[in-house]
Every structure is written in structure tokens, then in C-alpha cells.
Amino acid sequence: MPHSTKNHNQHDKNDYANANSLGERVPVIPHNGCIFYDIEYIIGDAMNTFPLFFKLEDRKVLIVGGGDVALRKADLLSRAGAAITILAPDISTEIQALLSDDKHELIYKNYDKSYMTGARVIIAATDDETLNHQIHADATAINIPVNVVDTPHLCDFIFPAIVDRNPIVIGISSNGKAPVLARLLRARLETLIPQGYGKLAKLAGEFRSEVKRKIPTLTGRRQFWERAFEGQVSQLMFAGNEREATAQLQADLDNTVAALKNSTNHSVDPDAHNPANSPATTTSQHNKRHSTGSLSATAPVATDELTTTQHTTIRNNNINQTRSAQDAVGEVYIVGAGPGDPELLTFKALRLMQQADIVYYDALVSPQVLDLCRRDADKVFVGKKRSNHAVAQLGINELLINSAKQGRRVVRLKGGDPFIFGRGGEEIESLRAHGVPYQVVPGITAANAAASYAGIPLTHRDHSQSVRFVTGFLKAGAPNEKFENLLDTNETVVFYMGLHSLARLTTGLINAGRSSETPIAIVSNASMPNQQVLTGTLESIVELQEQNQLPTPALLIMGDVVALHDDLAWYNKHNKDTGDTEANWLRAGTAITDQNAKNPIDQQAHALSMIANLAAQQEEDLEQLVIG
């Protein structure tokens, strides 16, 4: 359906308020805080139900029934502040515990319609079909909305799947046709909408009266809120900096008010250019002004609204004001990419990846995860593999600092968790020393993923009361040979970067006093479709690995819990084909088909080129930045 071409700078309150009903483009706020005008309300088939939001604070809600179904409804309604009355001869202990507040009432009696008096809504939650029909008929007779659970044709209203970002609430309904699908859609939205939106909405509510008082027009207020929701205010709130977000919103409002006053001071008396008072103003000029919503160059008028140029100026002033306060520094997000499966990313990691200007990523970041980054972000490979570091750690630190000081949003994407053998601590030490703001987003570390996907619990009351994460190599590649610390049989030990030194580790452990019969496992490509698990003992695992040749990335798990693998394994249990690591869908990714995508060698050259430029600019030793 074609949409209206009405200019949204036009300040006709009724026209704008009716935009949805007319099918016009109207602004919406997606999960990354940007304002889009490309979402249209399309008038299609008639709606089966109309979405409404009920205020139930301290209002009586009658629920007939005292079992599990009644409990689920009571739980939801209590969150909305309803005063709930439960009517049933038997009421579960869970409901009694949930509704222990004095505002609620539990009536241990059979149904009687007299209890409907004063109810705002009624829910029939019994397994008696005849009784449910009676409740529906009685409620309908006195015009009280009623919901008969799991019986759509007897429902005046429907409980939707809810996304709660109080005070923002989203309800999703299939009108009883496919409730499971509605729940799946809700789960998808949960991943897209940050929790910070609720706090952002509350902040907007605190400022609403002041904004309305200082910016008297609808269009002017809309422009102000758009700038706030798509700018620094939202980013500060999402980062948990509520005080800074409040201060920024106040500064933006003051800046906007000052611009409006300046605009008014430079305007001409509108009466002098009123068509009724000035014959010099032609009918065509008058019509043009009102049909386009813009101001004629020959007939300026006083206005409380902003022209496009002024709107842009305020936006730029706000941005410049923020950057000036931060010395034009962007921000660095140290993000854990998890073990490889993109479904194991956190919501926050995904949000920050999608707003990045540049991404520095490691060798263990799967292409499938990398594909989830913002499409037009620069992506630079700075990965490290055994004895082959694309860029030294010092060089990576310099790249992060330099990009942030250019005002860019930088994502440092690391396999696993940044703070578990990921050098994240070293990177934020460097960022802090240079005054660069940063955030750290944890990821699922390889030990957790490997253990979970291999069916090897890291702790178990019968086998292991503690767990230790150990690296096979220390700083500068020195082998870790502190085997005397790893002799506790009630402890699980996980070795990172240990596959290539497997013989050294097993021999050292046995010589230090660990039993040669101690169970040990190699988990390769944890959480990926070609994951492989090889189990043995300290005495046998080296020979088994020589025969099977499990590839990297891999880690070792040692301890009695390994014996549980055969019984508890669940993932890829019957896939014994070692396969080709390069053919793994997580390793290949969709990006491999992109003709414009750079391969790792190209990306490594790109990173080295950036390092060389930095070294030249700062007169630093190139070898220090590249070799590490």
C-alpha cells in the first residue's frame, strides 16, 4: 500500500497523531537506539482482537480455580499490581505463598456469581468445561471481560506473550491460534531489546513535563526525543551510566532551548507576513507554505519549531559537546565471543557488535559470529595462533587506543571469555592508562563450553569439589611446569593451549606423583558441529591422540569427572567422523561466499599495515608492535 508523502516537519498535531491510521511512515525506536521512518502500518485483513493495556493497580481481579493454571495467571497479574481474589474449594500452597499480601483474598468456596461484584476482569481457570461456560455466561451478562483459559471462543481478551521492559511493555498474541509461535517471537524480541530501554523510558518520563514546558510544539518535542534516543543519552544508559545519561539529557535540552530562543530572536513578526494583512504575500506562497510544511524564503515566520538546518545544528552541537567532554574519544568494548556457536553469545555482546565502527577479532572467533557484527564496520584480523602472532599484544593495544581516539566505537572480539587467558586485563590496563573509556562483556569460556557439550561436569559432589583453569604456556611462550600444584584428586583441571604439549604435560604430572590412571579428555572444536571428544588416561592419551589426530582448537580436562563422559555425553554423540575443520560451517561461515570479504592473510596484512603507520606516526619501534 503506498504511503503518504506528508512532510513530518509540518506541525499539525492532528495529522501527526493520526499518522498510524493513515498508513504513514512514523518514527520507531529499534534495539540499537536509532530512529527509522521506514516502518509503515499496513492496513490489511481485519484484526481479530484489538491490543489494549489495562491498568490493574489495586483493581479486583477474580480468578476461579486454585491449581497450576490459576497460579500462572495470578503470578502475571500480581506483577501488574492487581488485587487478586482466588475462588476455589482447594487452593494450592504455591498460590497461598504468592498471594500472602493483605490486598489479595483467598475464598475457599465453590463458584458463585455473587463474587463477581466489583471485579475489573475475570479468569476462569478450572478443568470443568460446564463450569467454565457458566462463568463466561455470568460475566457476559454483567459486562465484565472474561478469559476462559485455553478456550479462545470464550475469551473477551487474551493473555499475550509479554516482553517486559517496564515501563515499556510489548504484548504478542496469535489470537489463540499459535501460542507457541507467539512465545517464540517473544524470545526473539527479548534478544533484540536491551534491558536498558526500561530505564531510558523512565528517564524520559522524568523529563517529559520539563520538555513539554520548554518546547511547546509537538514536532519540536519529537525532534528532541529522536535526538536523545538515537544519541549519547541512550548509549550511556545502556552502559549503566544513569547519572551521566541524566546529565547528558539535561544538557541536550538546554542546548535545544537555546537554539529555539535564537531562532525566535532572528524571526520576523508573523503579522507582517500574514496573507490577510500583507498583499505582498501571494496566494501561491501561502499555499506552498502550508502544503509543504516548510518556510518560504520570501516570507519568514516566527516559529517554535526547528528547520532542518537548525535540527542538524543542534544534533552536531550535542555531539560536539559530548565529544569535547570526552576529548573526542570513542569507546572500546572488550567482548567475549564464546566458543564458536553464535547462539551462545550474550544479548549485550550482540548489541555492541551491531553498533561497532571497527572490529578487531581473534583467530578463534568463528565467521558465523563475525557475521553478526555491523555489516559496514571495518573488520581487522589480529589473531594469534601457536608461534604465529599476526600482531603483538602491544600492537593490538595501540590499535585499540588509536581507533578510540578517532572517536570510533571499537569492538575487540575475543574467543571465549576476555578475562580467562584472553589478555583482556592487559588491554584494559592500556586503555585506562590512555584515558580511553571501555566496557567488558563476558563470554562463555572454552572450559565451560567443552565440559557442557562433552557431558563432563567440571564439579560433582561425588568426584570433584573444585576446578582449576591452567594454561599450558606462560608469558613469552615459557612452558608451565608447576605440576606439584595439580595433584589433588578431588579437583578437576582444565588445560588451555595444552594439546601441542600433551606429552610434556602427562609425563610431568606422572613424575610429580599423579596416578597414571587419572582420566583425561581432549575436547576439540567445542560446541561446533564437528566437535570431537577423546578420552583416556594420563598413560594412554598421548598414543590415542597420535592415532586420532584431533585438531585444534582443543583443550584438556583431567580428573575423575571425565569418567562420566560415556554416560552423560549428549552433543554430536554419534558423529565419529573427524571431518575437515575448514569445511566446518562455523569455521567457514557465510562470509566466505562474499566476493568482497578479505581472507585471514589479507586481514593480517591490513593489521600490519595499520601498525606500521602507527609506528611511523609515533616514532615507535615497529618490531615491538609486531612481534610478540
Active site residue 384: yes
Q: What percent of the chain has pLDDT over 90?
A: 48
The DSSP line for 434-478 is: TT--EEEE----HHHHHHHHHT--S-BTTTBSEEEEEESB-GGG-
Alpha carbon distance 323, 329 (integer Å):
7
Alpha carbon distance 496, 126 (integer Å):
56
Cβ 161 vs Cβ 184: under 8 Å: no
Question: What's residue 393's pLDDT?
Answer: 86
Identical fold, 60-159 and 331-444+598-618: no
Alpha carbon distance 384, 126 (integer Å):
62
Averaged pLDDT, 592-597: 39
- What residues have CB less than 8 Å from 233, skipping those under 6 apart? 200, 203, 245, 248, 249, 252
CATH numeric code, 447-582: 3.30.950.10
The string of pLDDT tens digits covering residues 112-135 is 999 999 999 999 999 999 999 999
Segments making up each domain of the chain, as ranges: 60-159, 331-444+598-618, 447-582
Identity at 175, one-letter amino acid code:
N
Active site residue 362: yes
Residues linked to residue 389 through DSSP beta bridges, in sequence order = 384
Mean residue pLDDT of the chain comes to 79
Grouping H, G, I as helix, E, B as strand and the rest as coil, residue 165 is strand
Grouping H, G, I as helix, E, B as strand and the rest as coil, residue 536 is strand
Fold of the CATH domain 331-444+598-618: Cobalt-precorrin-4 Transmethylase; domain 1 (3.40.1010)
- pLDDT category at 189 given cuts 50, 70, 90 is confident
Cell digits of residue 53: 493495556
Averaged pLDDT, 332-359: 91
Averaged pLDDT, 529-533: 91
pTM: 0.60
Cell digits of residue 596: 568482497
The string of pLDDT tens digits covering residues 77-116 is 999 999 999 999 999 999 999 999 999 999 999 999 999 9
User: In terms of residues, how long is the chain?
Assistant: 628
CB atoms within 10 A of CB 336: 26
* The listed CATH number (3.40.50.720, 3.40.50.300, 3.40.640.10, 3.40.50.150) that belongs to domain 60-159: 3.40.50.720
- pLDDT category at 383 given cuts 50, 70, 90 is confident
257 has pLDDT over 60: yes
What Rg do the C-alpha atoms of the chain give, in angstroms? 32
Catalytic residue among 252, 341, 362, 417: 362
Catalytic residue among 6, 113, 384, 573: 384
Alpha carbon distance 237, 247 (integer Å):
11
